[in-house]
């Protein structure tokens, strides 16, 4: 049975209608959540509708060809450079970098659907891009699926969510946070933006 971590009282939780209103004018947006939940898809849709620079932490910050981690000082410097920009949407996790990212963000969109949604997402992504790099990943990092990655997804709520909650409370009490529980919620969030284009 999936263990859902009870949400901490986030200082500035908002609902979909409030978030949709904020997104009409927000220039700096973070999208976080478990792998396979659709972070990149949602972030790119918002980037396109709002004309924002899309930053993928996997592609632009963390990974080098051959699934090698970029040295931490270089990654931090790239994050600092990205968040200093005037208009962007950044998708990716790394709770430890939220102290760098949250102070500049105007809203956080947190994808938290059931675990089965994330697992289905990573399996379908693996089938689609098997043997090659997906667009949101660094070149030379072909899509892969192994037990370590599946374990990360299986235990995400238990192991990762508390870190996100702590960072949001500590470093982003001023930042509105929308939690999305389904793809349908994501579509509802996008609808007003699509209507205004």
Q: Given a cut of 70, is residue 80 above it in pLDDT?
A: yes
Q: What is the pLDDT of residues 5-17, one digit of tens each?
A: 555 567 789 999 9
User: 146: which 2 tokens?
Assistant: 């192994």
Q: What is the pLDDT of residues 62-75, one digit of tens each?
A: 999 999 999 999 99
Q: What is the pLDDT of residues 126-180, one digit of tens each?
A: 999 988 999 889 999 999 899 999 999 999 999 999 999 999 999 999 999 999 9
- Looking at residue 46, its pLDDT comes to 97
What percent of the chain has a predicted confidence (pLDDT) above 70?
95
Mean confidence (pLDDT) of the chain = 92
Nearest alpha carbon to residue 37 among 97, 93, 107, 94: 93
Are the CB atoms for 114 and 37 separated by under 8 Å?
no
Q: Given a cut of 80, is residue 60 above it in pLDDT?
A: yes
DSSP H helices in the chain? 16-23, 39-50, 72-84, 98-101, 115-129, 147-154, 156-159, 161-171, 183-196
Tell me, what DSSP letter sits at residue 123? H
Give 144 or 32, the one with higher predicted confidence: 32
The domains located in the chain, with CATH, are 22-190 (3.40.50.300)
- Looking at residue 4, its pLDDT comes to 58
Sort strands 68-69 and 63-64 into parallel, antiparallel or unpaired: antiparallel
**60: helix, strand or coil:** helix
């Amino acid at each position: 049975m999936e263990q859902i971590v009870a949400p901490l009282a986030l200082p500035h939780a908002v609902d979909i209608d409030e978030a949709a209103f904020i997104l009409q004018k927000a220039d700096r947006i973070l999208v976080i959540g478990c792998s396979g939940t659709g972070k990149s898809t949602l972030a790119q849709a918002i980037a396109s509708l709002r004309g924002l620079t899309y930053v993928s932490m996997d592609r632009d910050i963390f990974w080098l060809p051959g699934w090698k981690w970029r040295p931490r000082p270089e990654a931090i410097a790239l994050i600092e450079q990205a968040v200093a920009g005037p208009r962007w949407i950044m998708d990716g996790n790394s709770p430890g970098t939220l102290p760098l990212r949250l102070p500049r963000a105007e809203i956080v969109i947190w994808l938290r659907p059931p675990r089965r949604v994330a697992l289905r997402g990573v399996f379908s992504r693996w089938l689609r891009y098997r043997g090659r790099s997906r667009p949101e990943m660094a070149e030379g990092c072909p899509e892969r699926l192994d037990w370590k990655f599946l374990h990360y997804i299986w235990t995400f709520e238990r192991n990762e969510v508390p870190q996100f909650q702590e960072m949001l409370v500590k470093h982003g009490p001023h930042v509105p946070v929308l939690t999305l529980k389904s793809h349908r919620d994501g579509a509802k969030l996008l609808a007003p933006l699509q209507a205004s284009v």
